[in-house]
Amino acid sequence: MSDHPLYPHGPIRELAPGLWVVRGSLARNPLPRTMVVYRLPGGGLWIHSAIAMQPEGMTALEALGRPQVLVVPNAFHRMDAPFYIARYPDLKVVCPGPARKGVEKKVRVHDVAEDVLPPLGIVCHELRGAKRFECLYELTLPQGQRALVWTDLLFNLPQRLPGFGGWITEKIGSSGFFGMTRIGRLFGLRDARVCADWLRELAETPGLSWLIMGHGEPIGTQCAQRLREAAARLAP
Q: Give the CATH number, domain containing residue 35.
A: 3.60.15.10
pLDDT of residue 38: 98
pLDDT of residue 172: 58
- Asked if pLDDT for residue 24 goes beyond 70, the answer is yes
Longest Cα–Cα distance of the chain, Å, equals 50
- Domain carrying residue 173: 13-234
Decide if 7 is inside a domain: no
Decide if 80 is inside a domain: yes
Average pLDDT over the chain reads: 92
The 8-class DSSP code of residue 222 comes to S
Of 146, 116, 97, nearest to 46 by C-alpha is 116
Q: Does the global pTM surpass 0.95?
A: no
Decide if 70 is inside a domain: yes
pLDDT band at 187 (very low <50, low <70, confident <90, very high): confident
Mean pLDDT value across residues 115-121? 97
Decide if 8 is inside a domain: no
CA distance linking residue 76 with residue 221, whole number of Å: 29
Decide if 52 is inside a domain: yes
pLDDT band at 174 (very low <50, low <70, confident <90, very high): low
Q: How many domains does one find in the chain?
A: 1
User: What percentage of the chain exceeds 90 in pLDDT?
Assistant: 79
The 8-class DSSP code of residue 130 comes to B
Decide if 2 is inside a domain: no
Decide if 3 is inside a domain: no
Decide if 160 is inside a domain: yes
pLDDT tens-digit series, residues 71-90: 999 999 999 999 999 999 99
The helix or strand, by DSSP H or E, that contains position 33, with its residue range, turns out to be: strand 29-39
